A and B are shown apart, each in its own frame.
Chain A
């Protein structure tokens, strides 16, 4: 029996460092 593959997509969170 065929199984359908479900893939969770990654969260997209852009970052900027605050420690410069």
Chain B
């Protein structure tokens, strides 16, 4: 680690900033890294950007605020996050540097969508009629609770199982794209960059839109971006409810496969809405809660709190990463969320061990038999369809989970070592 001497000058990379309560949020929009710093930190950053030395900057601060400040430590932290580069050091990396190491396969950008178009599509002219449709569907379901499909609809009784399964999975993929497009449009409406990728939440394969730049927008805009996915799921689900209501009351006459498919599609919309409530993962509801609680990084701070607890219990106190910088009120929320985190992980693992793995085992066994040239259930088109889909979607989620756990662990080790070195330097 290069040492800043008091007389050294640093290069401040371009950044954006916005006031957020008593803090200032600074962001590197290219790398999608955002930091909260005290408001006076922005003065320091601006002085450094003007080419003043670290010592000069510290003197300016002391004259203005009447107390000395550790500019060198501040610069060291900002350098680690890639906001400043020190003399004689190579330029900071330009790849996105999320501490979560949650790599995605590939990312597609939504940034070609002009903010004005996104504003129109997410404005009251769309939201109000949409809400009317949703409320109508709620009224229909209250009048006729039988409209809500159970898991049996996925058996497509009386229809061609293999074909209807493939079509309904295709519809589910379209639904999931619309859900993510809604988040992206809400972000674009306030000029924030949005990129789509494929990732995982625990072992669940997900389509994921990175709208980290929404930190620079108002809280209201953040809530809107988080709730946009719910809105489209509820809207298209409502259209299906209306369609099913009309067929049940014989208002319209449609072939059997159409109502089978509509029921299955409605179920996928409902499952997608339900999934967002698993807020022990970074789901839409999680982000709403974290924003309402004014937490800066509820998930990572909680994971650090838990790992510090384990280190203390196993006599590795010297490895504890200080959380002294987190305000006490926020720390209380982190402790409460830690219970949710643990309970949720246990619940997720139980579901994995008792439902998902046994199902995958059945399919895997048949794949092995097929490879060995033994007779298998693959002679049935129905079985083959479901086996391939389950292996792709659930197997893909599991594989990505394993890979990201490993990468996250390795990256955390490097980051923790760096943080511990800085803690030791600051204490020494």
Contacts and interface: CB of A to CB of B under 8 A. Distances in A.
Contacts, number: 141
Interface of A is mostly: loop
A6 B210 contact: no
A12 B214 contact: yes
A8 B199 CA distance: 22
Nearest to B198: A18
Contacts of A12: 210-212, 214-215, 287
A8 B73 contact: no
A17 B275 CA distance: 7
A6 B25 CA distance: 10
A3 to B, nearest CB: 5
A20 B204 CA distance: 10
Contacts of B211: 12-14
B413 interface: no
B86 to A, nearest CB: 16
B366 interface: no
A10 B268 CA distance: 29
Given A7-B326, A20-B268, A15 B199 contact: yes
Interface residues of B, number: 69
Interface stretch (B34-42, B47-55, B128-136, B139-147): B34-42
Contacts of B204: 17-19
Which of B34, B201, B214, B326 has most A Cβ within 10 Å? B34
Nearest to B72: A1
Contacts of A17: 176, 201, 204-206, 271-272, 275
A14 B204 CA distance: 14
A18 B68 contact: no
Contacts of B299: 10
A10 B207 contact: no
Contacts of B44: 4
5 contacts: A6-B81, A13-B199, A16-B272, A17-B271, A18-B172
Given A4-B40, A12-B215, 18 more contacts: A2-B68, A3-B74, A4-B69, A4-B73, A6-B36, A8-B297, A8-B300, A10-B297, A10-B298, A13-B212, A14-B226, A15-B283, A16-B176, A17-B275, A18-B207, A18-B393, A19-B393, A20-B271
